Structure formats: C-alpha cells, structure tokens
Amino acid sequence: MIHSYLDINGSEFEALTRDLLAEGNMVRFRAKGFSMRPFIRSGDILEVQPFVAAHPVRIGEIVLFKSVNNGLLAHRIIKITPEQYSIMYLPQGDSNRYPDLPISPAQILGIVAALKRNKHRVNLNTSSQKFVARLWVLFAPLIKHLYFFITGTNLYRKVRAYK
C-alpha cells in the first residue's frame, strides 16, 4: 500500500478536511502539539470519521472541531450541556489546565476513531477504550494536579536525568 502525504498550511488543511469529512470520507493526519498528552503525542497519526449529528458525541470522545481562535483542534469532550434548542460541548486537551470555549455541534467536523503511533494502531471505538476515556475525564483533575506538581519538583528533574 502506497501512502501519499500533503504538506499544506493551516487554512488549506482546514478547507480540505472540512470538504472530505462533509462528503463522508475518513481523514488521516499527523497530530501536532502537546495538548493531548499522554494519550496523543505530536507525530501520531489520527484517523477521523465524519461527525453525524444523529449520533451524539459522548463524554470522553475526542472530536475534531473548529475553534474560535486556533483553527482545527482535536480535544476530548469533558462536559455536555443542554441548551434551549441545542447542545453545547466542552472540549479540553488532556494536558491543558483549563477547558476550551464551549462548542456547538456545528463546529464539530469529526470524531477521532483511531490513532497510530509507530506501527501500533489503537481503535478508540472499542468498549475498553471508551471506558478508559470516561475514567480519564472523571479523574483528570486529580491526575493533572499531581502531574503538574511532580513535573515542577527537583525530584522529577533528578529522576529524568538518570534515564
């Protein structure tokens, strides 16, 4: 199987991704950044399925959405709030201290269905992966406080120096 890759800028990527997903196609792209660590690392390949409004997004799922300030982002849904005539979703990067602005279903382009790191593929649609995602959302505030405490200590720096 031959893979071809495009090297395009952010606005071109957004337009192409939006069009492909709107036509019902799956999209694969290389993740950039560190906001979804430890689950998604910069360089992982994400497989995104089109978002279908008839199938609601669930807490713990990772969605690809159009943010107000930052173009396209793939972040985890941590809260769902019913509004008068719609639903609002609250996304947050797994390693971010604070959530993003709430998003509407119209901003969601797709749902991250799998990720590939090196030659290992993880299907995020399995019941075990969905359970892990819900546990992460439930315990993330505690885990993040502990993580930021540990990474800020001298002990952590000393341990990392021996690796």
CA distance between the termini of the chain: 37
Write down the pTM of the prediction: 0.82
* Residue 100 neighbours by CB distance under 10 Å: 20
Confidence band of 27 (pLDDT split at 50, 70, 90): very high
Which pLDDT score, from 0 to 100, does residue 86 have?
Answer: 83
Which pLDDT score, from 0 to 100, does residue 154 have?
Answer: 54
Residues 137-148 have a mean pLDDT of 78
Query: Does pLDDT of 8 surpass 90?
Result: no
Q: What is the pLDDT of residues 49-106, one digit of tens each?
A: 999 866 789 999 999 999 888 789 999 999 999 888 889 999 999 988 889 999 999 9
Answer left, alpha or beta for residue 133, where phi above 0 means left and psi between -120 and 50 means alpha.
Answer: alpha
Domains in the chain: ranges and CATH: 10-138 (2.10.109.10)
Which pLDDT score, from 0 to 100, does residue 90 have?
Answer: 96
> Residue type for 23, please?
E
Query: Which residue in this structure is represented by tokens 């950044």?
Result: 33
Query: Does pLDDT of 5 surpass 90?
Result: no
Q: Between residues 55 and 126, which one has the greater pLDDT?
A: 126
Give the chain's mean pLDDT.
85
* Residue 82 neighbours by CB distance under 10 Å: 8
